[in-house]
Chains A and B, each alone.
Chain A
Amino acid sequence: MSDSSQILVFDRSQVRRQRDRAARGFAAHRPLFDESGEALAERLRDVKRAFGTALDLGAHTGGMASRLTTHGVPFVVAADMSIGMARQASALAVVADEEGLPFAAESFDLIVSNLSLHWVNDLPGALAQIRQSLRPGGLFLAALLGGATLYELRDCLMEAEINVTGGVSPRLAPTIELQTASRLLLRAGFHLPVADQERVIMEYADTKSLLLDLRGMGETNAHAQRPKHFTRRRILRGAARLYEARYSGGEGGIKATFDMLFLHGWKNDRPQQGAISSGTHN
């Protein structure tokens, strides 16, 4: 992901539609979010300070917001692009886009984002806005998908498409590498930035179950240049055959890799020099 590019990689309206569609049945597709959510909560428990106001950014149905309330934060806002998702949150809900945050400067002591920021086109811009919304001394904590996430599916879809059509079109979202995420965190002016990665392997009965789960999570392709026609059956069938032959799981099923990048950074107590100006929307 290039951080200076003006090209829109993701169709944000499509991200929103996918989340709207996934909203009703999301509870059945939460394991990955619960996994990273628990990891975020664990990291939070290691932080020796109390937070008065927090934002769950890209909240989906507000799972992380609930964890923040359990953690003892008295004022928690859950923001998601999809009203279908946001209305299920038990916290105060707002429908908002990470690319245009509707929060005043220095509104929160803590901003947490659980598996949402990998759909943002302008991650440096989003990080700058996040930092601006934090109070001095505030903490930003996020998990996002990156690295080799879904490399098996990518590999099989690409090969199956070449076999059928002789060419390749973008079918899966481009992913961000840990080093890039780490650099962006620093460039956005976060203090004591830390980025690390955890790999989660999920097992599915077959390729169809994996694709249904991705759809249920609202994580299917929102690539702006994705093919507008439906993926041809032959390609999918071919990809499924390759997948099941190459990446079999433990008990006759298949495995799928998810690399979770964890970002952690503070906003300095005192004004900082060299931080990127965040007033890019004026």
Chain B
Amino acid sequence: MLEFIQQPWPWYISGALIAGIMFLLLFFGQSFGFSSNLRTICAIGGGGKFVKFFDFNWKTQIWNLVFLLGAIIGGFIAAQFLSTGETVKISESTISDLSKLGIAAPSSIQPSELFSMDAMFSVKGFFILAFGGIMVGFGSRYAGGCTSGHAISGLSDLQLPSLIAVMGFFAGGLLMTFVLLPLIL
């Protein structure tokens, strides 16, 4: 059993579990949406004094921060105890495309060229991470949700705004992959 869990999980098990977590939160009286935490954290930091968007009773959102904390713990558990240390098995064509951009084949779950202490303390690496973070933070709040809120919760509820948001996320990803990334890297 443990051996089975330690393998990377197939998409159908992973997808079903994500839907299961969404239903779990609904039965707990809440909705699955991860990036609301960004707004909550800004509100805790006192953003409400300057911007009306952050002026709300963030105590109603503590559950989501606890969920976020759990996600970090879960990631740690998965990496420490539920992994065989295998690299991500992406397709050969992706490996070859990425090598043209100077990204080596996977040796762990993220490329060290972008996500590592070395990268973070280089000027270019720092700006990539900081600018990416600002874009994610602004975009997910401007759209009222991220992949979890719009793609999973919103689409499950057949919400048109969510479909539009997801199409926007995807278009942004394509633009980044095929136009911006070759310029940046």
The answer to whether A and B belong to the same complex is no
Binding site for A on B (CB under 8 A): none
Binding site for B on A (CB under 8 A): none
